[in-house]
């Protein structure tokens, strides 16, 4: 047993005003039902740094089935790791039962596909803290006492602004190579230094990043692009030698690539949290367009005799999703029309029916140098939405589009009644 460091409410800066209200609802209900309710991980770290967290994750001693009974809006997900997702509209609060660290098992395709009993071996808050990756990510905020709990020295490392591994980084990175990526991303995002043993382990095992699932690497890449520090993060990944294994073309990227990321970061930093306008196609385009990776357009029907299915693009280990690449092509195709403000009003109004228009305007705002055009189209969209709203209120309910009118049944007897049965 390790005696934790407990910091009472009066001695730390976390306020419930800064915690997502839906996350507070989850914490309070767990506590009122006799379970532990802790805010865990990066959310606690960011709140202590005075940064708005991008996620509010919850840890508890309640098992997944018990959590589901407490929340009607709860879904249990995961085959290997059973997690509870409590949904509030489009928002999800992830609730995980405390687990204990298990010895790594030999992996095989069959083992990877099957649930692991050890993955769902539940434990105590202390055991859960020691199975996390870095000390600054293993801090807990207890809703029962409003105190911060530290089992691993994370508060000292937070004050020293250093990323330190929990346990031997050589072992932890071979257990999960994505931890090397996360160490570099976290240090670059919050401007921390990386502990020398962690840097040495990355240098020793960096090639192991090729063993990570491409889908996980793509997910981490989207997080990087939404962080507001993507330019700095990609440069840091290049410095430690991870980028040459993840996405080698970026190592020889032109200056335009880095300036495009700077524009993306500047736009993201205008908002307290990730805005809805920062969609996946825009993130994909911020990487692929300056690298010239969209040069090959899918062949058309005239060339092949049949329509091509939209294709994705792979950059090193990163599989950019097909649907996002196709949406990107469509929003780029609209850019010239968005700049042609002298076009006939009818042609301009026709663009309002294009579902990709909001993303196309956002791309123009981030990567174009035409604020007048952006302002014009924002006004056109707002006016169009207002007009649709007015027309919808004025139109009789029976004639509103989208609602089928019921046909009246014709009254009276049939003109040609059926002959009576003999």
14-23 residue pLDDT tens: 999 999 999 9
Tokens of 304: 């092949």
Residues in the chain, overall count = 422
Contact 311, 322 (CB under 8 A): yes
Name the active-site residue from 20, 46, 128, 133. Answer: 133
Q: What value does the mean pLDDT take over residues 137-158?
A: 97
The answer to whether 165 and 138 are in contact (CB under 8 A) is no
Confidence of residue 311 (pLDDT cuts 50, 70, 90): low
Is residue 422's pLDDT more than 50?
no
pLDDT value, residue 354: 87
Q: What's the pLDDT score for residue 398? A: 53
pLDDT at 351: 83
- Is residue 15 left, alpha or beta, with left meaning phi > 0 and alpha meaning psi from -120 to 50? beta
CA 330, CA 324: separation in Å to the nearest integer?
10
Q: Which residues pair with 39 in a beta bridge?
A: 58, 141
CA–CA distance, 6 with 25 (Å, rounded to integer): 23
Calculate the CA 244 to chain-centre distance: 24
DSSP conformational letter for 258? H
Q: Is 362 exposed, middle or buried (0-12, 13-18, 19+ CB in 10 A)?
A: buried
Whether the pLDDT of residue 301 is over 50: the answer is no
Q: Is the dihedral of CA 80, 42, 90, 377 positive or negative?
A: negative
Q: What are φ and ψ of residue 141, in 5° steps? A: -115, 120
Q: Which of 180-184, 234-238, 329-333, 408-412 has the lowest mean pLDDT?
A: 408-412
Q: Tell me, what's the pLDDT at 385?
A: 60
Is 57 catalytic? The answer is yes
- Confidence at 352, pLDDT banded by 50, 70, 90: confident
Assign 3-state DSSP to the chain and report helix, strand, coil percentages, each to 5.
Answer: 50, 10, 35
The continuous run of DSSP H or E covering 390 comes out as helix 371-394
Q: Which of 18, 22, 55, 119 is catalytic?
A: 55
CA dist 329 and 410 (Å) reads 52
- Cα 33 to Cα 30, 76, 106, 123, 294, distances in angstroms: 5, 19, 39, 19, 54
**Cα 226 from Cα 233, distance rounded (Å):** 11
Least confident range from 92-96, 110-114, 293-297: namely 110-114
Active-site residue flag, 133: yes
* Ramachandran class of 48: left when φ > 0, alpha when ψ lies in -120 to 50, beta otherwise: alpha
Across the range 153-171, mean pLDDT stands at: 97
Lowest mean pLDDT among 49-53, 273-277, 379-383: 379-383
| DSSP helix/strand/coil, 94 | strand
Token pair listed for 56: 């509010």
Please list the residues that pair with 139 across neighbouring strands.
Answer: 150
Taking the C-alpha atoms of residue 86 and residue 94, their distance in angstroms, rounded to an integer, is 6
Q: What residues contact 417, with CB distance under 8 A and at least 6 apart?
A: none
Q: Is 50 exposed, middle or buried (0-12, 13-18, 19+ CB in 10 A)?
A: exposed
- CB 40 within 8 Å of CB 27: no
CA distance 143 to 36: 8
Per-residue pLDDT, 144 = 96
Helix (H, G, I), strand (E, B) or coil at 162: strand
pLDDT band at 362, cuts 50/70/90? very high
pLDDT at residue 390, as a whole number: 44
Greatest alpha-carbon pair distance for the chain in Å reads 101
Residues 6+ apart with CB under 8 A from 273: 52, 54
Residue 320 DSSP SS3 = strand
Burial 166-177 (b: 16+ CB within 10 A, else e): beebbebbbebb
20, 46, 57, 142: the active-site residue: 57
- Paired with 91 in beta bridges are 88
Which range among 104-108, 261-265, 276-280 has the greatest average pLDDT?
Answer: 261-265
Among residues 106, 130, 243, 258, which one has the least CA distance to residue 180?
243
d(CA 42, CA 109): 31
pLDDT score of 1: 75
Q: What is the pLDDT of residue 297?
A: 53
pLDDT at 401 over 90: no
Q: How does residue 2 score in pLDDT terms, banded at 50, 70 and 90?
A: confident
pLDDT tens per residue, range 113-134: 333 444 557 889 999 999 999 9
Q: Is the pLDDT at 106 greater than 50, yes or no? A: no
Mean pLDDT across the chain = 86
Q: What is the pLDDT of residue 114?
A: 39
- When pLDDT is cut at 50, 70 and 90, the band that residue 196 belongs to is very high
Return the minimum-mean-pLDDT range out of 244-248, 308-312, 351-355.
308-312
> Residue 241 above 60 pLDDT?
yes
pLDDT, residue 60, reads: 97
């Amino acid at each position: 047993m390790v005696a934790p460091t407990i910091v009472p409410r009066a001695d730390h800066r976390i306020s419930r005003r800064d915690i997502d209200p839906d996350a507070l609802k989850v914490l309070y209900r767990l506590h009122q039902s006799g379970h532990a309710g802790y805010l865990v991980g990066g959310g606690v770290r960011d709140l202590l740094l005075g940064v708005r967290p991008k996620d509010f994750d919850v840890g508890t001693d309640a098992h997944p089935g018990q959590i589901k009974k407490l929340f009607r809006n709860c879904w249990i997900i995961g085959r290997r790791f059973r997690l509870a997702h409590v949904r509030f509209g489009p928002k999800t609060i992830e609730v995980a039962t405390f687990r204990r660290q298990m010895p790594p098992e030999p992996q095989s395709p069959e083992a990877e596909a099957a649930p692991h009993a050890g993955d769902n071996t539940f434990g105590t808050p202390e055991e859960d803290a020691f199975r996390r990756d870095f000390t600054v990510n293993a801090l807990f905020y207890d809703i029962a006492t409003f105190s911060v709990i530290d089992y691993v020295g994370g508060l000292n490392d937070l004050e020293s602004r250093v990323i330190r591994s929990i346990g031997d980084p050589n072992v932890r990175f071979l257990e999960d190579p994505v931890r090397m990526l996360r160490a570099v991303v976290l240090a670059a995002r919050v401007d921390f230094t990386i502990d020398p043993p962690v840097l040495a382990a990355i240098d020793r095992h960096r090639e192991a990043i090729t063993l990570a699932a491409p889908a996980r690497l793509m997910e981490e890449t989207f997080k990087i692009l939404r962080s507001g520090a993507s330019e700095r993060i990609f440069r840091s990944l290049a410095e430690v030698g991870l980028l040459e294994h993840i996405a080698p073309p970026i190592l020889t990227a032109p200056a335009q690539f880095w300036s495009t990321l700077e524009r993306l970061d500047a736009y993201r930093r205008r908002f307290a949290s990730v805005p809805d306008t920062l969609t996946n196609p825009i993130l994909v385009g911020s990487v692929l367009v300056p690298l010239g990776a969209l040069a090959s357009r899918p062949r058309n029907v005239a060339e092949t005799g049949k329509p091509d299915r939209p294709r994705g693009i792979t950059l090193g280990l990163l599989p950019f999703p097909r649907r996002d690449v196709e949406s990107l092509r469509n929003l780029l195709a609209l850019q010239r029309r968005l700049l042609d403000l002298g076009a006939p009003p009818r042609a301009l109004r026709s663009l309002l029916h294009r579902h990709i228009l909001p993303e196309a305007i956002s791309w123009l705002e981030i990567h174009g140098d035409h604020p007048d055009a952006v302002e014009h189209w924002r006004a056109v969209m707002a006016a169009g939405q207002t007009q649709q709203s007015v027309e919808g209120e004025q139109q009789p309910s029976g004639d509103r589009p989208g609602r089928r009118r019921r046909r009246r049944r014709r009254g009276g007897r049939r003109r040609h009644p059926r002959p009576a049965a003999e």
